[in-house]
Structure 1
Amino acid sequence: MELRDSVDALWRIEAPQLIATLARRIGNLDIAEDIASEAFVAALAQWPVEGVPPWPGAWLMTTAWHKAIDRARREETARTKAPLLVAGQDGALPDVAAEALDPIPDDLLTMVFTTCHPVLPPESRVALTLRLFGGLTTDEIARAFLAPSSTIGQRISRAKRTLAGARVPIEAPSADELPGRLHAVLEVLYLVFNEGYSASSGESVVRADLAVEAMRMGRVLAGLLPSEAEVFGLVALMELQASRFRTRTDGNGIPIQLELQDRRRWDRTLIDHGLGMLDRAFGLARPLGPYCLQAAISACHARAPSFAETDWVTILALYDALAQITASPVVELNRTVAVLHVDGPEAALIATEPLTSDRRLAGYHLLGAVRGDLLTRLGRRHEAAAELERAADLAPTKQERQLLLDRMAAALNVTGD
């Protein structure tokens, strides 16, 4: 069982790179995904006998590549496909270093731009990319979209069929195409980062591997597009949020609220670099886009010496600007926290009322968490406990569920009952 858990963890880490490299070389996403799965099945069969290799990722890539060669040879069209796959008569792996570089010298980014191709509708681009690049399950993607799992599954299936039917090549866009296809890629990178920052399922609230990979790819994009403010804004946003990773949870994995985090343990290197990226973004664009605005909000928290010294007036103004250009219920919910600290809990609670009838937030646990906190502050402890209990039932991880249940118990004991 422990080995199976280890292989499952490796799938999360290695599968995106494995699928991306195979897809670029083979030219077919579905086949690349199948072969990657076959390599992991082989690992489950061989590693219990032979032991886990020193470099599991390299073992999986080698195994997958040989399976790709075998598959090509078995197919009727092997006469035309095999020369593209096989470097020599012995089936040796190709010399990657000798391959011509793409405009984007990164297999993962190449795959992201492919799955974000304009031939797909925006929602399908993001869903498919999260599935292949982020290694997320359909349920996890559904939570990120605030949509039913069945809907997401259909989007992913249709997206694969559309790419195959349109014969979309697995390659990076040209320099002229790059800016026009950027928005969907930035959206995907931020959703992947968010899954790492606050996991939608699993045993851990934080999945740093996803967040680190999203930041890495964001920095690559910033190098490729030095005049795109939103790229720098996104990198700044991810780095400023990632600076809090060490204080996001306690020793038991329970989330720690921002006001209780030890700011001395925040990563100053990430903060300084993130603020520098934000300055770069501010120098490139007016008006500011959504990633720049969100990064500016994170910068207010990063610059505050303590929670009490946070500039909530500026944060509220930034949320007002962000709400005007996103029309997102999650942004509106986050804005109510700023309203709390500027105008008080009663005004904040009133601001949450329209959100209670928004279907997109029907399964979103943080709506109940915020309302529970506001009702607690107003002394309406039984209403608060009911909101927190509902939020706990919707919590995506056991740690978040426990935190909400603890807050529910505390709400009921506010007056010593």
Structure 2
Amino acid sequence: MEERSQTRPEASEAAFLDALSDNSTPAPLPTTSTGRGPATQIEDIFGIQDVDSYLATLENLTARIIKAVNEGKSVTATNKRLITKTAEDIRGATRILPTLIRASTKTSAAGGNPITPELMTPTARDDFKKEIAACVREEVRKITKTLTKSQPSSPGARPSYSEIAGGMAKHARPAWTNADSNAPIPTPPRPITRPAIIVASTVPIKSRQEVLESLRRGADFKRTKYAPLKIQPVSNNKLRVEFQNVQERDDALERLQGSKEVSAEPAHTLRPMVIFKGIPGDIPEDHLVDIVKGQNEELQGLIREADDLKLRFKRKNRNSALYNAVFVAHPRVWRQIMDMGKVRIDHQRTHAEDFSPFRQCFKCLQFGHTRANCSADSSPCAYCADPTHQVEGCPIREKRGAPKCVNCSTHNNKFKATQNTQHRATSVNCPRLRAMKDRISNRIDYGSE
């Protein structure tokens, strides 16, 4: 019995994952070695014996969903958010279960005594477990049926992880909503870029707070009908001040022109980029813009100038017969392509997603360039920050020791800060990495329509 409880969950999990990526019709749950049917197999597999273990099991499963999706590199950011939201909805619905059980147990029996789990007969407890198992099995059947409808990219090929996740996200619905509702799942909001100015001090200062006070004195917003939407620090004790519209920004610029304490200029922005993945290799790259514009009616009225959609560079695709192409786009064109998700190119619909200009060098671990263009002399370990070895041969990593981020450590030493350093320098949770991504995002004009 003890050996079975250790091996059964792993085998069941592997079988479940195989079922998700297989186009075959899901088979019914087999009976257990004890002869019991599928209605009671759930507690055998996961060790569910009571409500608490049931809740703990679902918490664990939803945590696996979130972790797996966020680690998948082939899943779009939109699908990641949708799947993560679905898992959170499962958790939310699950937390209601104890309340429902407590409410049901208060119902008096024929003799007027409340029915508690301890007072339930074995038959009643078995019926309750069967009901839970049937609900779980039905939900799995629905999801598996949805996934098997998604056809792979080519005949005979297994569907990709992104195709499976996309099918789940597309049909996911919170457990407590009306199943008959035809309301579409809302699309995650696109980033919006507001007009902004960069404010710098023209006199010696010791902190950004002094720049803020000079801004308040120079613009005197108390005499206006507006206020900045956001004020955030940037490099070299400068401030980025964001406004609702161009009129507010221009008025603030005019007010600050006569200031002797600060200078102000419009924030310079970059156009967003988009990547098309999986373009047939026999399509010339210099024909792509004309093909995209001609085959996609949604874009014809938006691509008005030559610079509205311009090829930046090509990238290799995992399939040698295909290639990826990165374009610089006008904000209105970028937003339409993001809403479309796929663009028609020749005989197929090609996946399109946002392309960030963020770069991190895997040699010096700094930002803004790659290893090929790095001129640094040192090459610290991405795991422990030691300059004498690389991450592949890191002894701290092999011993499962605590990591140390070289960028956060340098930042703390330079600015006497206390940022957490116990993570890799390439971790998505690195405060310095997130700050650099935010800084780059603030420089991109995604439009405000």
TM-score interval (norm. to shorter) = under 0.3
Please say which structure displays the higher CA radius of gyration.
2
If the length of structure 1 is used for normalisation, what is the TM-score? 0.24
Higher-strand-fraction structure? 2
